[in-house]
Amino acid sequence: MKQKISQKRLLFYFILLGFLPLVCVYCVFHNQKKSLDRALLSLEHVKHLGVIKKRSQGINNHVRRLYQEADHYYIDHKLETLTFLKNEQEAITKLISSDSFPGDERILNRDAFLKNNSNKLIFKELGIETGQGIEETIEVLSHPVEINNEDLKTILDRIEGNIKELHPPQMLITDFSLKRKETLNKSEVFELSMKVLKREYGR
């Protein structure tokens, strides 16, 4: 009986030993397959990054060409020269020039405010960063200005509208505040504060 059991065990061990090389081969194959999969995944990742980099370079080159002829003094020439609330200015001028004008001090002060630099866009530089042929400047309004809906549209068009014939640099609004303002004639007027990023590309 013991001999039979021993023979059965021996046969079991032989069978087990016969499977062992197959198990080892499977483990080696599985590990190699995992390594190959990782290598292929890394290769796909590198290829994907290469496509993204190439596409990004193409976009960067396009943007550079687009803004290459930008006016360095665009803010001075095209933004700080804007005049706002023209309809109100005309109405006040007409009122003051009429014989029936009572000489109201508030109206005279409002007229002066609208016609001098108190209600002009005046930007000041907060900081400049340069690198890789790009110069970035943070520009902030030195004081709020009063505008109406049409004025706001003009400002936004000139900053982010990319009116090519004006040769603007690349500009992005980074901070923006608009508050409703009470006026003497009860017209719709807003007080505007803003910060802008100006980006210029080397030629």
Lowest mean pLDDT among 29-38, 74-83, 169-178: 29-38
Sorting pLDDT into bands at 50, 70 and 90, what band is 54? low
156 near 162, Cβ under 8 Å? no
44 with 96, same domain: the answer is: no
Tokens encoding 156: 């936004």
User: Which residue did the predictor score with more confidence, 172 or 8?
Assistant: 172
199 near 134, Cβ under 8 Å? yes
Residue 145 to residue 47: CA distance in whole angstroms: 51
Residue 29: pLDDT above 70? no
Residue 98 to residue 115: CA distance in whole angstroms: 19
76 with 113, same domain: the answer is: yes
Residue 2: pLDDT above 50? no
Give mean pLDDT, residues 70-88.
Answer: 95
Per-residue pLDDT tens over the stretch 118-135: 999 999 999 999 988 889
Residue that finishes a domain, picked among 67, 94, 111: 67
Q: Containing domain of residue 178, as a range?
A: 70-201
136 with 163, same domain: the answer is: yes
pTM over cut 0.75? no
87 with 184, same domain: the answer is: yes
Sorting pLDDT into bands at 50, 70 and 90, what band is 6? low
110 with 125, same domain: the answer is: yes
Sorting pLDDT into bands at 50, 70 and 90, what band is 148? very high
Query: Which sign, positive or negative, has the C-alpha torsion 40, 42, 46, 52?
Result: positive
Query: Which sign, positive or negative, has the C-alpha torsion 40, 43, 44, 45?
Result: positive
104 with 166, same domain: the answer is: yes
Question: How many domains would you assign to the chain?
Answer: 2
Give mean pLDDT, residues 35-45.
Answer: 64
Q: What pLDDT sits at residue 65? A: 76
Sorting pLDDT into bands at 50, 70 and 90, what band is 64? confident
| Phi, then psi, of 45 in degrees rounded to 5 | -65, -45
Q: What pLDDT sits at residue 5? A: 53
Q: What pLDDT sits at residue 144? A: 96
Residue 82: pLDDT above 80? yes
Per-residue pLDDT tens over the stretch 89-116: 999 999 999 988 988 999 999 999 999 8
